[in-house]
Amino acid sequence: MRRVAVVAFAQTEHTGHDTGVGEVELILPVINEVKERTGLTRFGFTCSGSCDYLAGAPFSFVSALDALGAWPPISESHVEMDGAWALYEAWVRLQHGDVDTALVYGFGKSSLGDLAEIMTLQLDPYYLAPLGLDRLSFAALQASATGADRKELDEIVRRSRADGRRNPYALDLPEQIPDGFAVEPLKTSDVAPITDGAAAVVLAAGDLAERLCATPAYITGIAHRIEPHYLGMRDLSRSASAADAARAAGVGKAPVEVAELHAQFAHEEVILRQAMELPDDTVINPSGGPLAANPVMATGLIRIGEAARRIHDGTARRTVGHAAGGPCLQHNLVTVLEA
Amino acid sequence: MPSEGGLSAEHVLEFPGGYTRTTGPVIGRFLTELRGGRIVGVRTAGGKVLVPPLEYDPATGDAVTGEYVEVGPAGTVRAWAWVAEPRPAHPLDRPFAWALIELDGADTTLVHAVDAGNPKAIAAGTRVWPVWRGDRTGHITDISCFVAEVTTIVSPVRTVYRLQAGGALQVFLEGVRRGVFVGGRCGGCAKVYVPYRLSCPECGIPMAEQVELPDTGTITTFAINNLPDPRAPEVPFVSAYILLDGSDVPMISLVGGVPAHEVRQGMRVRAEWLPESERTLSMANIRWFAPTGEPDVEL
């Protein structure tokens, strides 16, 4: 395997409402920030993650390329997934050995429509989508199957919001946790906030990583696994795919100081910690995590970026970034980063 | 801030008339059976029954066997979530539950709606049956929803009687119309009973004489009632045994004019009568007994 590192990470100051900026305008500042930080203006490969249904515009990711300066033509790809999977594709691309740098970005404005109903469109069109099963409803089914302790869930929300208030990029959500169900047993406070935002990461391979960054965050393990789509085919109280991905990425080979988990609902953190066998002394989501800012399609990439940032700033030596996709944690990607 | 005085417009993404999709043979079979009012699963090589059927076994990735098995129609709820405010696209327009339903004979669960009425009426383990749509087309919504198994029925009971107050009761009620409690003294044991009766239940002999009792007495025991009753003005109300002064057997009546939690044994009370012009041959002439304010009595 070629050694590949995260050498730069940038994210927007996420907002809980639509500020009116277009997607190109949203991405441009974070692309420029990672360019400035690395001194690079061209990359061997570029890959992005987004979802056209968020804006309701087919091929909206193509227009987003205007933020890159894609002329003369660049080598570029896109995944209709969270930017974390764009990072995975870029990591694979760097393994080929013919290019040494990759630009990865993810973006999303979930404020434009009704996210709960937009996410119905990701469901299979025969058995689930015709029921109008929305994002909050299937998350509530998983919360019900999990049966996590209410106090533990409230504590996750409280901790995430407190960390988020200290994170200049996350939302300022009140300390007071309101009562009331979104869909019982899912409380409205268990749900990640509607958020607009973007993030960018630069990957570099081999010796170049150390020339571009004083403390590169090396990807020493990265793997993703997926489960059946249909909810009734799975044990929703567990995440077999997160467990498999964590094992394949080697999470348990050494202590993990920080884990950034893509838990968009409080109970998902409980499931993921258990699946990834994270010990009690691992700090979970010190950024506040998705419960403090959830720019859909960038949230997973931000988890890897935040995990890398702890190594860049020297506060940790070994961290984990996790991303999830599909209904009820169907698809999980785990990245181990080391100094 | 969102479109405060700014430019904003509605944008709709839609495939007018809907998107036409082919089902393939496996999902097609399931939907065809649904149109016929049956639910089928497909058997995997390992012998498991997948409902709804998939083309492949999620555990192995192998193609399924092509053997279709009728399941249900009843099933057991394994997990559920309560939707208090249904969305327009939901199967029901009133509060309902989403549930993972393990149909009898299936090894997986089906996601569908349960019309349970309220969240207390559903739990893991609840047995449910499908409600079929009348005009079925071969669609997952050919099942409108599931409903709980029948475990109770409601049986209306109502018969009407005409009661005649004669004998001792008439004597007592005539007293009550005059604002007096009439009792009877037994010639054998000398006990005074109220309401008036013709014989002593202890001695089995006719009453020796009628006695008029005062409308004051002492509460010997009481109950705080939290269920509405047409004879009581409000909830909670207190019904009590009241030992009228000079009698040996307590009489049941409402207690009022005092908060329910302040009523106690030994409390002195007096009857509150309706105005004379409103009185009839009825116990309703006594609104209730209210505290006199005298010191409590040791019983």
Calculate mean pLDDT across residues A12-37.
94
pLDDT at A110 over 80: yes
Can you list the pairs that A20-23 forms with residues at least 24 positions away whose Cβ atoms lie under 8 Å? A20/B2, A20/B3, A20/B6, A20/B7, A23/A50, A23/A55, A23/A60, A23/A63, A23/A64, A23/A107, A23/A109
Cα torsion B181, B185, B189, B193 to 10°: value is -20
The residue-averaged pLDDT of B113-128 equals 95
Any CB–CB contact under 8 A between B100 and chain A?
A: yes
**Six token digits for residue A161:** 């919001």
Q: Is B171 exposed, middle or buried (0-12, 13-18, 19+ CB in 10 A)?
A: middle
User: What number of C-beta contacts closer than 8 Å exist between A and B?
Assistant: 112
CA-nearest of B70, B73, B61 to B41 is B70
Question: A233–B108: do the CB atoms touch at under 8 Å?
Answer: yes
pLDDT (0 to 100) of residue A192: 97
For residue B10, list its beta bridge partners: none
Average pLDDT, chain B: 92
Contact A184 B84 (CB under 8 A): yes
* Nearest CA-CA partner of B30 in B66, B58, B75: B66
Question: What is the nearest CA distance from B63 to chain A, expressed in angstroms?
Answer: 14
Q: How many CB atoms lie within 10 A of CB B118?
A: 10
How many domains is chain A partitioned into structurally?
2
Chain A CB contacts of B79 below 8 Å: 141, 144-145, 236
Chain A CB within 8 Å of residue B50 CB: yes
Host domain of residue A309: 115-191+217-338
Overall average pLDDT of the A111-115 stretch: 93
Sign of dihedral through CA atoms B102, B103, B105, B107?
negative
Tens digits of per-residue pLDDT, B171-230?
999 999 999 999 999 999 999 999 999 889 889 898 999 999 999 999 999 999 998 888
Give the domain CATH number at A303: 3.40.47.10
Same domain, A241 and A328: yes
User: How distant is the Cα of B72 from the closest Cα of chain A, in angstroms?
Assistant: 15
pTM beyond 0.80, yes or no:
no
Q: What would the 3-class secondary structure string for B98-130 be?
A: EEEEEECCCCCCEEEEECCCCHHHCCCCCEEEE
Yes or no, beta carbons of B98 and A186 under 8 Å apart: no
- Does B258 lie at the interface with A, CB-CB under 8 angstroms? no
CB contact under 8 A, B100 and A140: no
- A212, A246, A265 - which closes a domain: A212
Alpha-carbon distance of A3 to A64, in angstroms, equals: 30
Q: Are residues A93 and A185 in the same domain?
A: no
Contact between residue B251 and residue B195 where contact means Cβ atoms under 8 Å apart: yes
Residue A139 DSSP code: H
Which residue from B81, B89, B140 is facing A144, i.e. has the nearest CB?
B81
pLDDT score at B112? 97
Any A CB within 8 A of B144 CB: no
Confidence of residue B5 (pLDDT cuts 50, 70, 90): low
Q: Where are the domains of chain B?
A: 24-148, 167-291
Per-residue tokens: A268: 């998902």
pLDDT at B18: 87
Judged by CB atoms closer than 8 Å, whether chains meet at A183 and B82 is answered as yes
DSSP letter at A119 equals: G
Asked if residues A77 and A45 have their Cβ atoms less than 8 Å apart, the reply is yes
pLDDT > 60? residue B4: no
Residue of chain B nearest A133, judged by CA positions: B90
C-alpha A100, offset from chain centre: 24
**Non-local CB neighbours of B75 within 8 Å, separated by 6+ positions:** B101, B102, B103, B104, B106, B110, B127, B128, B146
Question: How many Å lie between the alpha carbon of A298 and the closest alpha carbon of chain B?
Answer: 21
- The CB density around residue A242, as the number of other CB atoms within 10 Å, is 29
Segment A46-68 mean pLDDT: 89
Task: Report the distance separating Cα A286 and Cα A96, nearest Å.
Answer: 34
Contact B80 A232 (CB under 8 A): no
- Indicate whether B110 pLDDT > 90: yes
* Cα B24-A141-A239 angle, rounded to 5 deg: 80
Residue B132, pLDDT score: 97
Chain B nearest-CA residue for A229? B58
Strands (E), chain A: 4-11, 45-49, 76-79, 101-109, 181-183, 186-187, 196-205, 217-226, 258-260, 283-284, 318-325, 331-338
Least confident of A52-56, A84-88, A146-150, B3-7: B3-7
Structure tokens at B104: 């009898």
Helix (H, G, I), strand (E, B) or coil at A335: strand
pLDDT digits (tens, 9 = 90+) for A215-253: 999 999 999 999 999 999 999 999 999 999 999 999 999
Last residue of a domain, one of A180, A212, A244: A212
Q: What is the pLDDT of residues A162-190, one digit of tens each?
A: 999 999 999 999 999 888 999 999 999 99
From B11's Cα to the closest Cα of chain A, the distance in A is 8
Query: Do A73 and A165 have their domain in common?
Result: no
Identify the sign of the CA torsion A249, A252, A257, A262: positive
Q: What is the pLDDT of residues B135-164, one digit of tens each?
A: 999 999 999 999 998 888 888 878 888 877
Alpha-carbon gap, residue B89 to B44, rounded angstroms:
33
Q: Please answer whether residues B267 and B219 qualify as being in contact, where contact means their C-beta atoms are separated by less than 8 angstroms.
A: yes
Average confidence (pLDDT) over A28-56: 95
Q: Do A208 and A327 lie in a common domain?
A: no
Q: In terms of domains, do A186 and A77 share one?
A: no
Check pLDDT > 60 for residue A329. Answer: yes
Q: What value does the mean pLDDT of chain A take?
A: 96
ipTM score for this prediction: 0.80
Interface test with A, best of B4, B10, B11, B13 (most A CBs within 10 A): B13
- A200 with A261, same domain: the answer is no
* b/e map A103-136, b = 16+ CB within 10 Å: bbbbbbbbbbbebbebbbebbeebbbebbbbbbb
A279-319 pLDDT per residue, tens: 999 999 999 999 999 999 999 999 999 999 999 999 999 99
Task: Report the distance separating Cα B86 and Cα A200, nearest Å.
Answer: 38
Q: How far apart are CA A245 and CA A252, in angstroms?
A: 11
Q: Are residues A81 and A67 located together in one domain of the fold?
A: yes
Q: Are residues A145 and A280 in the same domain?
A: yes
Backbone angles phi, psi at A77, to 5 degrees: -145, 170
Give Dmax over CA atoms of chain B in angstroms.
100
Is pLDDT of A135 > 90? yes
Contacts of B98 in chain A (CB under 8 A): 133, 137-138, 140-141, 183
> Nearest C-alpha of chain A: how many angstroms from B23?
8
Q: Is B35 exposed, middle or buried (0-12, 13-18, 19+ CB in 10 A)?
A: middle
Nearest alpha carbon to residue A286 among A311, A259, A308: A259
- pLDDT cut 70: percent of chain B above it: 98
Task: Give the C-alpha separation, A145 to A135, whole Å.
Answer: 16
pLDDT-based confidence at residue A60 (cuts at 50, 70, 90):
confident
- The encoded tokens of residue A32 equal 């420029």
User: How would you label B93-106 residue by residue, b for 16+ Cβ within 10 Å and e otherwise?
Assistant: eebbbbbbbbbebb
- Label residue B1 by pLDDT band (50, 70, 90): very low
